[in-house]
């Protein structure tokens, strides 16, 4: 049985529930930022401090991670973050109005290292094309991974993905990113001496 999450920062939502009314939930109409797979929430707490002008949705289907994320947010006193336990694609489809996200963040997604499992990876060209529908023109797309093959793959397909402008040009990825906090997984791999692959694109202004 799931441990109940009683934090005021937690938004209970299940498949088939209606979309949350973000403006009334946050008490303002600031643009939305979505972190997919927030883990234990250490990244989103730091990012929400850096960007008080954005309303952050921290999403993960891991219940204990959501509980830890909520505890961090409640302790910080931040009012611009809410936590949801849901699968990314079904959540986005129902709960994110088209063209509304100002920022999307995916840090250290499950790497599915075995060749025969690669198709289970969340981030690929088709997913970014799908996600693009929910991004505002000028929206930031951040991806970070500790897994070399995943990093190179995303860097490679994003370089030819239509409708996005590389913010790290002429590089397609970097191993450091300014004003971008660390996450639990990033720190774990940096401590082992493994580099992080960061990719940063912005949705082009003139795309639908
Ligand atoms: C390897 S952990 C990384 C956590 C965190 N981003 C970090 O860097 O420390 C990946 C997280 O993504 C979540 N996750 C994976 N696929 C997901 C999906 N489709 N929808 C929601 N969460 C997902 C997992 O539950 C897990 O917490």
Mean pLDDT along residues 40-63:
98
Do 141 and 133 contact (CB within 8 A), yes or no?
no
pTM above 0.95, yes or no: yes
Q: Band the pLDDT of 206: cuts 50, 70, 90.
A: confident
Query: Is 42 known to be catalytic?
Result: no
CB neighbour class for 198 (10 Å; exposed up to 12, middle 13-18, buried from 19) = buried
Q: Which of 42, 109, 120, 147 has the most ligand 1 atoms within 8 A of CB, as the residue to mutate? A: 109
The 3 state secondary structure assigned to 27-91 is CCCCCEEEEECCCCCHHHHHHHHHCCCCEEEEEECCHHHHHHHHHHHHHHCCCCEEEEECCHHHH
Ligand 1 centroid–CA 176 distance in Å is 21
Q: What percent of the chain has pLDDT over 90?
A: 96
Write out pLDDT tens, residues 98-119: 999 999 999 999 999 999 999 9
Does any domain span residue 208? Answer: no
Query: What is the Cα–Cα distance from 3 to 97, expressed in whole angstroms?
Result: 30
Residue 10 included in any domain: no
| 54-75 residue pLDDT tens | 999 999 999 999 999 999 999 9
What mean pLDDT is predicted for residues 167-180? 97
C-alpha 4 chain-centroid distance: 24
Q: Which domain covers residue 150, as residue numbers?
A: 24-203
Residue 34 belongs to some domain of the structure? yes
Atom of ligand 1 nearest to the CA of 188: 9
C-beta 62 within 6 A of ligand 1? yes
Q: Quote the CA–CA distance of 53 and 20 in Å, as a whole number.
A: 20
The pLDDT of residue 143 is above 50: yes
Task: Check pocket membership of 65 for ligand 1, CB cut-off 6 A.
Answer: yes
Check which CATH number belongs to the domain holding 158 and give it: 3.40.50.150
Tell me the average pLDDT of the chain: 96
Residue 208: per-residue pLDDT: 47
Q: Is residue 191 part of a domain?
A: yes
Q: Is residue 99 assigned to a domain? A: yes
**Burial code of 41-69, b = ≥16 C-beta within 10 A, e = fewer?**
bbbbbbbbeebeebbbbbbbeeeebbbbb
81-85, strands of its sheet edge to edge: 81-85, 55-60, 32-36, 101-107, 135-145, 197-203, 164-166
Per-residue pLDDT, 2: 87
How many separate domains does the chain show? Answer: 1
pLDDT score of 1: 83
Residue 172 covered by a domain? yes
Residue 17 domain flag:
no
Ligand 1 atom with least separation from CA of 37: 12
């Amino acid at each position: 049985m799931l441990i109940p999450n009683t934090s005021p920062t937690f938004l209970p939502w299940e498949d088939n529930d209606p979309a949350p009314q973000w403006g009334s939930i946050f008490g303002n109409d600031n643009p939305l930022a979505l972190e997919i797979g927030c883990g234990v929430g250490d990244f989103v707490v730091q990012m929400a401090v850096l960007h008080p002008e954005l309303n952050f949705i921290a999403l993960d289907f891991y219940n204990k991670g959501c509980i830890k994320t909520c505890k961090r947010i409640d302790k910080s006193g931040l009012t611009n973050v809410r936590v949801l336990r849901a699968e990314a694609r079904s959540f986005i489809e129902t709960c994110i109005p088209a063209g509304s996200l100002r920022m999307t963040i995916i840090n250290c997604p499950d790497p599915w290292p075995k060749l025969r499992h690669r198709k289970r990876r969340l981030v690929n060209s088709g997913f970014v094309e799908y996600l693009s529908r929910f991004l505002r023109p000028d929206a930031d797309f951040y991806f970070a991974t500790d897994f070399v093959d995943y990093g190179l793959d995303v860097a490679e397909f994003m370089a030819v993905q239509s409708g996005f402008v590389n913010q790290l040009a002429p590089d397609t990825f970097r191993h450091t990113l300014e004003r971008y906090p660390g996450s639990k997984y990033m720190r774990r791999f940096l401590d082992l001496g493994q580099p992080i692959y960061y990719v940063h694109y912005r949705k082009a202004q003139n795309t639908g």
